[in-house]
Chains A and B, each alone.
Chain A
Amino acid sequence: MTYLDHAATTPMLPAAAETMSGLLGQVGNASSLHATGRRARRVVEESRETIAAALGARPSEVVLTSGGTEADNLAVKGIYWARRGADPRRRRVLVSAVEHHAVMDTALWLAAHEGASVGWLPVDSSGRVAPSVLAAAIEEAPEEVALVSVMWANNEVGTVQPIAELAEIAHGHGIPMHTDAVQAVGQLPVDFGASGVDALTVTGHKFGGPLGAGALLLGRDVEVAPVLHGGGQERDVRSGTLDVPAIAALATAVEIAVKEQPERAERLLALRSSLVRGVCAAVPDAQLNGDLSFAMDRRLPGNAHFSFPGCEGDALLMLLDARDIECSTGSACSAGVARPSHVLLAMGHDEARARGSLRFSLGHTSTDGDVEALVAAIGPVVERARSAAQ
């Protein structure tokens, strides 16, 4: 099995799995006042401190969630509602044109149901939002902007955004900034405090933690209206009984992922370079999408994304799958139908290039053998898919 889909989800780190399984048999609601409850609460708070320390945040800035989608919803909806509540003119939501659906569709929902207007920040051909683009979008009517949301690194093409610069521009107008950093943690240095953003989304299963556990790092002075109402467990903005084993495993994973990030990134960078060289040698007309500079501050080290002219991405995926090589075509709707990626379209590519694309993403278990298997298979697979698209 050659698993080249770490951006979808990456295997749990053994230490995280051990932490989690060790706690699964233990009773304890972290909100209970008795000894058992306090024991559970202690696990949660120690985990919160670990997560905060690994990501440059204070423990009180860690709002635990069920994952990235919930954290994105809380940030975008919650900040929008709070800001509009404070000043009804604030109805503009500025988001990049390459956001994950968790942000994109949340913004569209606010537009459809909550009177928001969405300003899509265009990207260049590498998928990046230029700081001047954000500045211009804000300056159209700064008093109307509720929030800015631009992802740290793109899930499809791996492009890294100039987050600190964008945050500075937003703050120049007193506007809060959110970033979805689910792809970045473990691959790039991520420091919440240093980045200057007001809210930052992370999720465990992208860096070796469990599925279904994540967090929104939320500045202490950022007003957020809750999305999930109930017991108010997390700072009164997120309710729900805390998943103690998953939170502990999230902490174990983030600690290791961040500690090992520099060494891992170097290794993935080298692997990715040989993957790109190998694929381009096997398929000379393959087109690399995203930032062509492989510098780590410009592109995720584990990401390679190609378009194969004359091919359909879903045919390529199926043919590779039949050879035990697993990758992704990017966006898929709930029925499993591949749609042309909005990311590639926003980068200025046409539908054919978007439809004929594949993402290969490397992670902590990736080996030279994985790359060799792909490079050996991709030539014949592309040739076959091409004949099917005639």
Chain B
Amino acid sequence: MTIPETTSSITAPVAPVAPVAPIIPQPVEYAAETPVTGKVRLEAAWGSTEGDEDFTTTTSSAPKPEGQVFKPQYQQWNGELNPRWMRNWAILRHHLLGIFKKGHRPWGMPIRLYLLVVFIASLSDVGLTLVSALIGDSGLHSIWGVSRDNLYGHVLGFFPRNMLYYPVVAALLVGGVISEDRQHGTSALYFSRPITRFDYVAMKFLSVALIQGLIILISLSLYYFAEIATMGRGWAWIIDTLPMFLATVFSAILLIFTYTSIGLSLSSVSKGKFFPGIALLSIILGTKILAFIVSNLFDREILYLISPYDCLAHVGQAIIGTQPTYDQYSWTWSLASLVAMNALALYVLTTRVSSMEVTRE
């Protein structure tokens, strides 16, 4: 089967020509995607007109024997690009608003529900403070009011929080953040636009961190301000307690940063939706349990250095000023271990993202 030429469309106006030889209808090679219709035969005879009614110029032209070669002339686009922060803000917004709005990144319903549950549950100490103020029970207030231990406990302590709330929140959030892009190739949507890889990963990191931050820090602030409001605290008290409040905020940021970096590095390594979350939980809870068993069995606390939670707790205890529960080594070791963990995680993350191909890997 020869490869025919389609009759050409208007190239240049030509003078009316003498009657030409009868047109031999050329069989048209159907492209793979065009369905088999008679329209193609129509176009084979008439050429693809642009609505021009002067058929004297179109229908009589015989198939041209020559071809044409075009020299590609690349012209740079000289338009105005939006500032970089706007593009980044768009990515951030897409991820953040997806929590409660349609039309943005679809976080699954279980994730959203769990975030809500955790947020409400972490307001437990706020609630108890309010209750103690309402009923005027100083005993209750002395247990639940703002103090070093309670501020520390809000972020890093109290059994459910350190095992069930914040680590699970982190695990749920990091689950598909980068791995879904790898699996479905949707990273092409980002990298085919003027978005650098650093911006891409930074905005994703920031979005996950902000969501966790909203839960932890807002509830912490509410706790602090509830105390001020309900117990009628004055400036003296605020000045006294502000350092520990700020120290708690810092520990919370450290916690969020650590969990997010470990989680995102896991997400960049995997392709599944659940593996990063499960792996993050295993790391946080598994190392904690392991170190706990070893410390109980052998009275050696050194293994706590591989557990992110315990390192965070130790550093938190030191800077907030609560009673240290890790007495075999100084908190600077924990800080160093945290820095090392974060560095490793960020290294893995940056390597993986910078080598990520813009297709389905």
Q: Do A and B assemble together?
A: no
Interface residues of A (CB under 8 A from B): none
- Which residues of B does A touch, CB under 8 Å? none
